[in-house]
Amino acid sequence: MHIKSLVIDGFKSYGKRVELNDFDPEFNAITGLNGTGKSNILDAICFTLGISAMNTIRASTMQDVIYKSGQAGVHTATVTITFDNRDKSRSAPHYTHNDEIVISREVGMGSKNTYRINGLTVPAKKIMDFFNSLQMNVNNPHFIIMQGRITKVLNMKPIEILSMIEEAAGTNMYESKKRSLEMTVGKKDNKLKEMRDVADEEIVPTMETIEKEKQMLEELNMVHGQLRILKEKLDSWNYVQLMKKVNQFTEELKKLDGIKQKKEELIEESKNQLKNMEEKLKEDEESLKINGGNNLNVLKVKLEEKEKEKDNIQLQVNACNTNINIEVKKIKDLEKQINNSKKGYEAKIKEMDDFNEMNAGVEEENKKNTNDLDEIDKKIRSLNSGNIFGDEDNGSVQENINKYNLELQNQQTENQQCAIKIDGLKKKLNEHLTGVKEAQKTYNLQMSQLTAKEKEYEKVKDEYIKASEALNQHHNLKSSRDNLLREVRNLSSKTESFESNNPGLFFRYNDPRPNFDRRKVHGLICRLFTPIDFRFELALTTLAGGKLYFIVVEDDTVGKDILETNKFPNRVNFIPLSKIKSDSLDPRIISRAQQIGGADNVFPAMSLIKYDKKHLKAIQWVFGQAFICTTKGIAEKVCFDNRVNKHCFTLEGDHFNPSGSLTGGANTQRLILQSIAKQDEVSFELQAKKAEYEKVDSSLQAMHNLPEKVAQLKDRQISVQEELDKIRSDVHLGQPHQQVTEFNKINQQIAELEAKLAEGKANEKNLQKKIKDLENKMKNAENILKKQLSDAEKSRKNILEKIKKNKTEYDKKKNNYNKLELEIKDLTGQMQEEENQLIELNVEKKQLEEKLLTLMSELKIADDKCKEASKEYEAQREIAMKNSNEIQQHKYLLKKLIEEISTNEVNLAELSSEITKMNNGSIAAKEKFKDIDKRLPDEQKQMALKMDFINFKSEECNRSVNELQTRYDQLAKVVDPGKLNNFHKHIQEYKRLQKKLETIVKDKIKINEIIEELEVKKRLHLQHASNRVNIEFGKIFSSVLPGAQACLKQTNEEDITAGLEIRVAFNGLWKESLEELSGGQRSLVALSLVLAMLLFNPVPLYILDEVDAALDLSHTQNIGKMLKQHFKQSQFIVVSLKDGMFSNANVLFRTKFVDGSSAVTRTTCNQT
């Protein structure tokens, strides 16, 4: 059976239907450019064979096999293969009647697969069974040889090569039978072990146990008799004791009822007294409100209005100061800017003067060069005409000599006149010399005074600016002080209100002696601790009770001294730290209590409060021996537990006493600790505000004379400014300045005349020289003419170069000059604008300073009014406080009476609790007596009343009963009389088990013999397969690589299962390893071995995908020839890019890419 035709439609790159017809039964090749769909033909064949491993067909999902994943209008991929089945000897079972078998597979976008055989839809398993019958395992496809498989063979170890031979030989059948038998042996072993374990662990121990139980049954009967006797005696003793206890409870209850009645009468009397006191207190408070409260409120409103007026003025002062500082800063910045502008202006002017000076020289030089050029031109023309002087205007040499003589006479006359003027000015200078020295001295002194005064003015000006800034800070501090004062008053008012409403929370006393150390009085207990959580407040205050108001002192001497020197309206209790003894709860008791109720519900009272360590003894004395519980039930269990036996308090204020009493629910002091904590926060804030107020007030006191200092500095600045202006006027308009100026002017004139005289003398010498030269020229006129003409030409050339150079430089500098003129003009306008702004700012500053002086006066008046209103308010408040103190005293007495009633009610509640507990105890005793009375026979009861229990020890009797009962219970659980009857039955069962064990051992030996026989058969079959593969391996390798040999050699000559290794020889010389071969030769070795194993158990179809990629052309040709020679019974479909391979094929299919889809053409090759 072989492939006859293939139809591909919508599969991978085959977007259109492509038919590949007339496959050759033996050798078919597929070639084409990369990416044109060669390998996709092989993928299509594998796809139709039913392969489920997607990596074999190079796809991740089924949707990937559809053309462009279904994005190009193609939504299904269909591949149909037609097999030629005319050779019935190689046909699949059940299909021998068909000459053609058509198999197709279709997949849609939903990844739904449809298989068909001859047009009928079949499940995927039937396709797999069809090809498995042809020895083509589609999910382990050894008939598909990829290039990667060749590489894998090259890297195989000997044991892996052996496994390939085993797979080809089909020895897995022996292995599967062997594994099955080994599993059976394992099961037999397990059964054998299980039966031995049953014998060792169950039957034998059971027999030993029954023997022991015989002995324990006898002991059980004996214990039962002893237990019965002791229980009867103990019941008799309990009967007599319960009768006594019931009578005792009756007498105790009678006494407690009498005490309770007296307590109730006392509480009723106290409540009547409380009602009278409350009515009296209400009348006094109404009177205080009418007489004192209204006036105090009016004065308070008046004070607040005055303070508000003062604050408004203060805000205006602050704003004014801020504006003045802003104006001063603006003036300072503007003056700095004006100075910078002046400096810039002066720099630009200097730059322009330098440019003008330079430009004047350049123009003078240009003018001189032009004149020189004209002179030279005239001279050249004159010299060319034969004139020895080279001057057109000059006449003869004699005329020039006469001309220069006349100029010489004039110059000499001018020099004489200059000398006369110089002598006259020097005489005048000498006349002024004495006066000028004095004037210079005076002028220098005036200039030093001017400089000093300017420095003084700058210093005063800086001091005034700094003082103004400090004054602004002074105003801010004053505002802060006023705010702090209001806060201090408000906090003080809160503190005073708290003190007046709670006088009992403050211990006031007079020092018993001078220099008394008040630190030895620590204060009330309630002020020395804080609850960590205020939900425990009621429980803690109930626990402490009246002790909250006990006073803690250092020692008993302090308390004694205070009591002797002070008279207190009520009883005062002191706790001397040096005397009291306190202790904390035992950790074992805490652990037991929390074990009963849980750590989240039971707390030692000390763990719920915060306190100073120095007060530890006092706090422990109050709270050290009690528990706080979250509920009544837990409190009751903890309190009455024999291993705890401590006072317990609930969050609702219930008190459980170990003596048996229960007090419930008093909440008169519910918020006292929370109020104290809040007041402590207020007190702390008050102290902080007072400290801040004192700090600010101290700073203000240090700055109290600052406004006067600012005013003085302002006056001083104005005064120094006036002095400075006067000195400047005196310096510039005074006589010394004029004398020095006149003196300097004469000196300047003398210097100018001397310079002119020197210039005249030089001109005189020059004229004399010219006259002399002309006289010499007249003697040698022709030579001179030639030399002068040559010199004139040179001079003319030099002058032209100078003119050109000067013109270039002048044009360049002229542009800079124009730019400089514009900058100076801008700076002049800017300076004028800044001067105007400075005048305006000074005017605004002066107006603000005048306004500040007015506001400061108004602020002083407002401050005086505030102080007067404050005095009136404080005076009225003192009067109100005096009346309020009397009311507070009444309140204190009223509170004490409430506390006394509360204490009595607590005691009454404790008494009621004790009575209740006593009742409960009585009822319980009666119930127990009733039970035992019913249970005991009359004879035993009468005997119990007559019995003497003086030497009877109930505890020892109870212990003996418990021990006997425990032993009886133990024996009763273990002893089973029924088991003794099964003893013989267990012996028979043990014998049967021994026979079964012998049978299993015999079966195991027989199975092991069969396993050894299978192993021998497997080795023989494996050796046979290895020999056949070895023969074909050598033939194939020699055909693809002439002159070479190859074989498979056992790594262990005696045991083939140790593995096989590949050996290669060239011309009879065997290589030590495959590493000595080239890459192509190694690939040929691996390919030859794979093909040799295929020949051992051939299938109808083989697919090779570019297995010749690593081979050169000659090797590729040899493979093609070898396939035609050795595989005549199978059909080969080979993908290759090399001509040496597909030139040996009988049919060649070429792939190409047309309009985005793969296409195929068929070519029939020459067949030999």
Highest mean pLDDT among 59-73, 636-650, 821-835: 636-650
- Alpha-carbon dihedral angle through residues 339, 344, 348, 353, given to the nearest 10 degrees: 40
Distance CA(902)–CA(896), nearest Å, equals 10
What is the pLDDT averaged over residues 761-787?
76
Beta strands in 301-433 (DSSP E): none
Would you say residue 1144 lies in a domain?
yes
Any bridge partners for residue 7, and if so which? 19, 80
Which CATH number characterizes residue 138's domain? 3.40.50.300
Domain of 541? 500-695
Band (pLDDT 50/70/90 cuts) for residue 666 is: very low
CB-based contact 841:331 (threshold 8 Å): yes
Highest mean pLDDT among 489-498, 642-651, 1011-1020: 642-651
- Picking from 649, 670, 695, the residue at the C-terminal end of a domain is 695
Band (pLDDT 50/70/90 cuts) for residue 282 is: confident
Chain segment 363-416, per-residue pLDDT in tens: 677 777 777 777 777 767 776 665 555 554 445 566 777 788 888 888 888 888
Chain segment 530-580, per-residue pLDDT in tens: 999 888 988 999 999 889 889 999 998 999 999 888 888 778 899 999 888
What integer pLDDT is reported at residue 249 of this predicted model? 78
User: Other CB atoms closer than 10 Å to residue 1102's CB: what's the count?
Assistant: 20
What integer pLDDT is reported at residue 729 of this predicted model? 72
What integer pLDDT is reported at residue 832 of this predicted model? 79
Tokens 């033996």 sit on residue: 26
Give backbone dihedrals phi and psi of 1148, rounded to 5 degrees, phi first. -120, 125
Band (pLDDT 50/70/90 cuts) for residue 214 is: low
Query: What secondary structure letter does DSSP report for 11?
Result: B
CA nearest neighbour of 218 among 1112, 980, 922, 857: 980
What is the pLDDT averaged over residues 109-130?
87
Amino acid sitting at position 668 = T
Give the contacts of 1059 (CB within 8 A, at least 6 positions apart).
157, 158, 159, 161, 162, 1050, 1051, 1052
> How many folded domains does the chain comprise?
2
What integer pLDDT is reported at residue 784 of this predicted model? 67
Band (pLDDT 50/70/90 cuts) for residue 211 is: low
Band (pLDDT 50/70/90 cuts) for residue 238 is: confident
Sign of the dihedral through C-alpha 414, 420, 422, 425: negative
Chain segment 346-360, per-residue pLDDT in tens: 777 777 777 777 666
Distance CA(166)–CA(156), nearest Å, equals 15
CB-based contact 1112:1061 (threshold 8 Å): no
Would you say residue 320 lies in a domain?
no
Band (pLDDT 50/70/90 cuts) for residue 1026 is: confident
What integer pLDDT is reported at residue 783 of this predicted model? 65
What is the pLDDT averaged over residues 241-259?
79
CB-based contact 425:749 (threshold 8 Å): yes
pLDDT at 8 over 90: yes
What is the pLDDT averaged over residues 6-24?
90
Q: Can you say how many angstroms the Cα of residue 529 is from the centroid of all Cα atoms in its chain? A: 40
Would you say residue 981 lies in a domain?
no
Q: Which two tokens stand for residue 762?
A: 């030089």
CA nearest neighbour of 558 among 584, 545, 576, 581: 576
What is the pLDDT averaged over residues 129-156?
77
What integer pLDDT is reported at residue 322 of this predicted model? 78
Band (pLDDT 50/70/90 cuts) for residue 1168 is: very low
Which CATH number characterizes residue 534's domain? 3.30.70.1620
Tokens 């107020």 sit on residue: 693
Q: Which two tokens stand for residue 254?
A: 């009678």
pLDDT at 820 over 90: no
Give the H or E element holding residue 1096.
helix 1079-1096
Angle at 427 between CA 423 and CA 433, to 5 degrees: 140
Q: Can you say how many angstroms the Cα of residue 337 is from the centroid of all Cα atoms in its chain? A: 50
What integer pLDDT is reported at residue 780 of this predicted model? 62
Would you say residue 548 lies in a domain?
yes
Any bridge partners for residue 146, and if so which? 1105
Distance CA(301)–CA(872), nearest Å, equals 12
Higher pLDDT, 660 or 621: 621
Query: Would you say the pTM of this structure is higher than 0.85?
Result: no
Phi-psi region at 1021: left, alpha or beta (left = phi > 0; alpha = psi -120 to 50) = alpha
Chain segment 284-336, per-residue pLDDT in tens: 666 665 555 566 677 777 777 877 887 788 778 777 877 877 888 788 887 78
Band (pLDDT 50/70/90 cuts) for residue 101 is: very high
Band (pLDDT 50/70/90 cuts) for residue 610 is: very high
Would you say residue 160 lies in a domain?
no
Distance CA(1157)–CA(15), nearest Å, equals 5
What is the pLDDT averaged over residues 829-844?
79
Higher pLDDT, 584 or 497: 584
pLDDT at 54 over 70: yes
Burial of 206 (0-12, 13-18, 19+ CB in 10 A): middle
What is the pLDDT averaged over residues 187-194?
75
Chain segment 875-914, per-residue pLDDT in tens: 766 666 556 656 666 666 676 777 777 777 777 777 777 7
Highest mean pLDDT among 89-93, 886-890, 972-976, 1119-1123: 89-93
Local structure of 661: helix, strand or coil = coil
Least confident span in 375-379, 450-454, 813-817, 1029-1033: 813-817
Would you say residue 600 lies in a domain?
yes
Q: Which two tokens stand for residue 853?
A: 């002086």
Angle at 1041 between CA 1038 and CA 1046, to 5 degrees: 45
- Picking from 670, 695, 720, the residue at the C-terminal end of a domain is 695
Give the contacts of 529 (CB within 8 A, at least 6 positions apart).
609, 610, 611, 615, 619
Highest mean pLDDT among 47-51, 742-746, 890-894: 47-51
What integer pLDDT is reported at residue 587 of this predicted model? 92
Local structure of 1104: helix, strand or coil = strand
Tokens 């108001």 sit on residue: 549
Band (pLDDT 50/70/90 cuts) for residue 173 is: low
Crossing angle of the two packed helices 294-384 and 781-935, in degrees rounded to 10: 160
- Per DSSP bridges, beta strands 1147-1154 and 27-32 are parallel
Helix and strand counts by DSSP (H, E) for the chain: 23, 25
Give backbone dihedrals phi and psi of 1135, rounded to 5 degrees, phi first. -100, 125
pLDDT at 782 over 70: no
CB-based contact 181:1007 (threshold 8 Å): yes
CA nearest neighbour of 653 among 639, 633, 673, 670: 670
What integer pLDDT is reported at residue 136 of this predicted model? 79
Band (pLDDT 50/70/90 cuts) for residue 668 is: very low
Angle at 345 between CA 340 and CA 348, to 5 degrees: 125
What integer pLDDT is reported at residue 3 of this predicted model? 92
Would you say residue 339 lies in a domain?
no
- Picking from 695, 725, 742, the residue at the C-terminal end of a domain is 695
What is the pLDDT averaged over residues 206-225?
70
pLDDT at 684 over 80: yes
What integer pLDDT is reported at residue 384 of this predicted model? 66
Q: Which two tokens stand for residue 849?
A: 């300073």
Q: Can you say how many angstroms the Cα of residue 1020 is from the centroid of all Cα atoms in its chain? A: 73
